[in-house]
Structure 1
Amino acid sequence: MLDFVSPPGALGLIALAMVGYYACRRYIAGCRIQLIVADAKTSAVVRHTTDEGLITLRDVLYAECPALTDPRQAFMVPTPYLPTGLLQTIYATMRVRLYDRTSDIAYERNVFVMPDAATVSLDWYPSIKGDGNGPIALLLSGVGGSSQEHHIRAMAKSLVARFGATSGGFRVVVVNHRGTAGTPITSARPYDSGFTDDLRTIVRHVRLANPLSKLVGIGFSMGANVLTKYIGEESSACPLSCAIAVCCPFDIKVSSDAINQSNILNNYVFQPAVMRTLMRAIKRAEHVTADPAWALDMDRINSAKRLWEIEEELMVKISGYKNLAEYYERSGSVSHVDSITIPFLAINTLDDRITPPHGIPVAKFTVNPSIALALVPHGGHLGFLTGISPRIWFINPIEQFVAAIIR
C-alpha cells in the first residue's frame, strides 16, 4: 500500500501561520533604520521662531522625518526578491537608464565653462528660470554617472512634484561632471573623488543668479563624497541651507580597497564596469593636450587592468600628490566631516560592497552637532529598493529632511 502524508490539520496551519508571522516580524525588525545624531543638549539649532522657540537638528529629525525616526515607519524592507545588498546593487545598475512614470522628465541644459577652460553641463528641471525665489536642489552623481540615471531623474521629479507648487517654483539642477552626459571635453584635467573646484564654482554661479533662493545639495556615491568634502571645506561660509549624502565613500582608501580586491564579483562585474567608464573618458580626451609637468605614462594608463593603476598614474600625478596613499587621504571627505556647520544628513547601508560600513566615521556623527547619519541594514550601493514593484526608498526621507530644513 502507498503511504500518503496527511495534510496539516487546523492546529498545524495555525502553528505554521504563527511561525511565519514571527519570522516576518523578526525580519522587519532587522530592517529598522538606526539614526545617529548628537544628543538633545548639544544638537545644533536649525531655526528660531517666536512660536516654536529653538529647534535643533535632533528636534527636526524626530518631529518631521518619520521615515527615519518613527518606530512605525523607520524601516527599509527590501523588495522580496532583492533581499541582499549585492542583488540590490546589481538590479539598480541594470535599470540605471529606466524611464518610467517616476522618472520621465526632460531637462533644460546650461553649459558652463570653468576657469581652466573645462566644460561642465548643468541640467535643470523643470527649467533654468524659475517663477520666483523658490529653493534649488543641486544633485551630483557618482563615477561615470549623470543626470540620465534613473535614481537622479526620480529624485528630481519627486522633489519638484512635492515642493514645486508651494515653494515659489522649486527647481533641480543636476551637476554633470566633466566629460559626462555628452558634455564636450575641453580640458585635460578630469574630475575625481576629491575634486571640489567645479562644485564650488557652480554653487557660486547658482547663488549669484538666484540670490534669494535657498540651496540644497544632494550627492550620490562619489558625488556624495565631493559634496561632503566641499561643505566641510567651506565650513561656516557654506552657502547651502542643507545637504544630503547617499552612499558616501567617506574613506576613499576603504572603498578603493573594496573594489580592487580580487574576487569573482570585482574581477568580472564591478572592476570591468568602472574601468570601461574611465577608459571611455580617457579615450574621449585624447584630443586635449595634457600638461607636460604631469609626466603621464599613457602606455601604463591604456594597459591598466585595475582601478588603482589609473588612480596612481593619472589622479595622483594630475593632483600633484606624492603617492596613492596621499591621494586617498586628501580626496576623502572623512577628514572634513568635523568642519561641517550646515544641517547634514548621510544615508548609508550596512551591506554596501562598494562603500563598506567600516569606512563610515560613525563616531563623528555623535560629536558634530550639525550632522546626522542614517544606517540602513539593507539596500546595497544606490539600491534602497523596496516594495513588490521596486521603488526607491531614500526619496521619501530626503524630501522630509529638505522640507523640515527649508520651510
Structure 2
Amino acid sequence: MCLKQTNKPNILELHYHPESKVADKLNERSKLSQLIFTPSIWLRGGNLQTLINPLKGIYLKAFMPYQYKREIFTFKDGGTIALDWHETIPEGNATPGQRQRPIVAIMPGLASDSNDIYIVNLVREGQRNGYHPIVINYRAASGVPLTNEVWYSQGSTGDLMEPLQHIYTRYCKDRDLFLIGNSVGAQLSGSLMGKVGDKTFIKACALVQPPMNLRKCGDNMASTNFGLYSRFLALGLKIKLRPHLAKLRPIYKEKYDLDIDEALASSKTIMELDQNFTVKVFGFGTIDNYLDKVSCCNYLSTISNPTFILMAKDDPIVGRDTIEYDLCKANQTIILGVTDSGGHLGYFESIMGTEQWFTRPVYEFLNCYK
C-alpha cells in the first residue's frame, strides 16, 4: 500500500556549536540524530503537508474532540486566557520530597488554540513521555471572551511570561517546567527565552518552525504561492477580531485614533494587517520598526537554557531563507534540526492518520533534561 511510507526519507540534520555541551549530552543520551521523517507519497512537498493540517484538524475537532481541564488565568492588565490542562489541574505543590511529573507548557501558533491537531498531538505525546501537558492559549481564543481592550501581537512576550510565571510559582516547587512553542508561538518563546537569558526557570525548550526573521518570512509569503498563505493568515486573524469590534471600536478610536473597521477592510495580507493595525495599536510607529524589534533572531544569542529548534526547508510559510544557521550555531545552548520536507506544522507520514512525526524529535530532545 502507498498510503504510508513510500516517499524519500528525510534525515534530521543537526547544526550546533562545535563545543556544545548540549550536543554532547544528546549524543550520549538520545537518538535524535537517528530520527528519520518519511512523508507519505501522497503528501509530497511543503504545500500539501501544510494544507492537510487544517483539513485533518477539522475532522479531529468534529469526531474526536480533545477534552481538557480548564483554568482561567487573569493578566495584570485584566485580560484573560485559558490554560488547558491534560486530564487534571495539579493540586498546587506536592509534599516536600515527593517528585511529580514535569510540566510541559505548549504555545500554539498565531491563530490557533488547544484544539488544533498539532497541539493535540503534542499533548498526547507529552503524556506518553511522562509529562503533564498544559496549553497556553491566546487572548480571545478557545471560547474565552476578550475581557479588556488589550489584543496581542507577534511581540507580546508578556502574554507568555505571565502565565509561565504563574505555572512555575504555583505548580513547580517539586517538578521541572519545559516549554514548546509552535510557529509564532515558537517566535514568542524564543524571544522570551532570549530576553530572560540566564534568569530563566524553563528547564529546556523546543521551538517548532519559528519565523526567526519576520521580514524575510513576510517577503517569502508575499512572493510565493500567489501570496495565499499571507492572505489566509490575515483572514484568520480578522475573523478572530470581528466578534470584539463593538467593544474595541470606540476604545481604539479614542486611544490610537484608529478606525478599526477601515484597518481590517484594507488589510488583505498579514503584512498589511501589521501595517494598518498592529503597528498602531502597539506603538511601533512603522512596520519596519515592528519587524526589526520583535523578530526572535535578535534574541537567539542570549538564550541560556537548552533549546531545540526544528525547521523544514520546504516550509511555504516561514521559508528556507529565514533559517538562521549561523546565529543558532553561535550559541552553545541551541541545537538546530533541519529536514528537507515537512511543510509548516505538517510532518505527516500517512495521508489517513492524524499523528505527526515532529513530536518525536521534540520530546527526544526534552527527555534528555527530564
Q: Residue type matched to 2:23 in 1?
A: R
Match of 2:192 in 1: 230
2:83 pairs, out of 114, 119, 122, with 122
Match of 2:202 in 1: 240
Match of 2:24 in 1: 59
1:276 pairs, out of 228, 235, 239, with 235
Cα distance in 1 for partners of 2:337, 2:251 equals: 42
Q: Residue type matched to 1:398 in 2?
A: V
Q: Residue type matched to 2:106 in 1?
A: L
Trace 1:59-208 onto structure 2 (pairs within 5 A). Answer: 59-66=24-31, 68-70=32-34, 74-99=35-60, 105-129=66-90, 133-163=100-130, 170-208=131-169
- 1:333 counterpart = 2:325: no
CA contact (8 A) 2:312 2:342 kept: yes
Cα distance in 2 for partners of 1:92, 1:302 equals: 26
Cα distance in 1 for partners of 2:216, 2:48 equals: 21
Say if 1:275 and 1:366 are closer, same or farther in 2 by CA, change over 3 A. closer
1:349 pairs, out of 312, 331, 336, with 312
The structure having more radius of gyration, on CA atoms, is: 1
Q: Could you tell me how far 1:250 is from its partner in structure 2?
A: 0.6
CA contact (8 A) 1:86 1:353 kept: yes
Q: Residue type matched to 2:359 in 1?
A: I
Q: Percent identity?
A: 22
Q: Residue type matched to 2:127 in 1?
A: V
Report the count of equivalent residues. Answer: 352
Q: Residue type matched to 1:143 in 2?
A: L
Q: Could you tell me how far 1:121 is from its partner in structure 2?
A: 0.8
- 1:311 counterpart = 2:274: yes
Runs of 5+ consecutive residues of structure 2 not aligned to the other structure? 1-5
- 1:302 counterpart = 2:281: no
Cα distance in 2 for partners of 1:105, 1:171 equals: 15
Cα distance in 1 for partners of 2:184, 2:293 equals: 14
Structure 1 range deviating more: 91-100 or 369-378: 91-100
Cα distance in 2 for partners of 1:61, 1:389 equals: 32
Q: Residue type matched to 2:181 in 1?
A: G
Partner-residue secondary structure (3-state), 1:206: helix
Question: Which string of whole-angstrom CA distances, capped at 9 and with x for unpartnered residues, describes residues 27-56 of structure 1?
Answer: 43xx221100111xx21xxxxxxxxxxxx3
2:15 pairs, out of 36, 42, 45, with 36
CA contact (8 A) 2:191 2:295 kept: yes
Q: Could you tell me how far 1:147 is from its partner in structure 2?
A: 0.2
Cα distance in 1 for partners of 2:143, 2:236 equals: 13
Question: Which string of whole-angstrom CA distances, capped at 9 and with x for unpartnered residues, describes residues 329-348 of structure 1?
Answer: 11110000000000000000
CA contact (8 A) 1:104 1:153 kept: no
Q: TM-score, normalised by structure 2?
A: 0.90
Question: Which string of whole-angstrom CA distances, capped at 9 and with x for unpartnered residues, describes residues 155-206 of structure 1?
Answer: 101211221xxxxxx3111000011111111222211111101111111101
2:329 pairs, out of 366, 369, 385, with 366
Q: Could you tell me how far 1:277 is from its partner in structure 2?
A: 1.6
Partner-residue secondary structure (3-state), 1:236: helix
Runs of 5+ consecutive residues of structure 1 not aligned to the other structure? 1-23, 44-55, 164-169
Cα distance in 2 for partners of 1:271, 1:283 equals: 19
Q: Could you tell me how far 1:272 is from its partner in structure 2?
A: 4.1
Cα distance in 1 for partners of 2:282, 2:264 equals: 19
Partner-residue secondary structure (3-state), 1:219: strand
> Post-superposition, which runs of at least 4 consecutive aligned residues in structure 1 deviate over 4 A?
387-390
Question: Which string of whole-angstrom CA distances, capped at 9 and with x for unpartnered residues, describes residues 211-248 of structure 1?
Answer: 22201100110100000001110100111000001111
Q: Residue type matched to 1:248 in 2?
A: P
CA contact (8 A) 2:310 2:338 kept: yes
CA contact (8 A) 1:225 1:248 kept: yes
CA contact (8 A) 1:247 1:348 kept: yes
Cα distance in 1 for partners of 2:360, 2:242 equals: 39
Partner-residue secondary structure (3-state), 1:87: helix
Cα distance in 2 for partners of 1:388, 1:316 equals: 40
CA contact (8 A) 1:64 1:401 kept: no
Q: Residue type matched to 1:218 in 2?
A: I
- 1:216 counterpart = 2:195: no
Say if 1:388 and 1:301 are closer, same or farther in 2 by CA, change over 3 A. closer
Q: Could you tell me how far 1:80 is from its partner in structure 2?
A: 1.3
Match of 2:3 in 1: none
CA contact (8 A) 1:252 1:328 kept: yes
Cα distance in 2 for partners of 1:400, 1:175 equals: 22
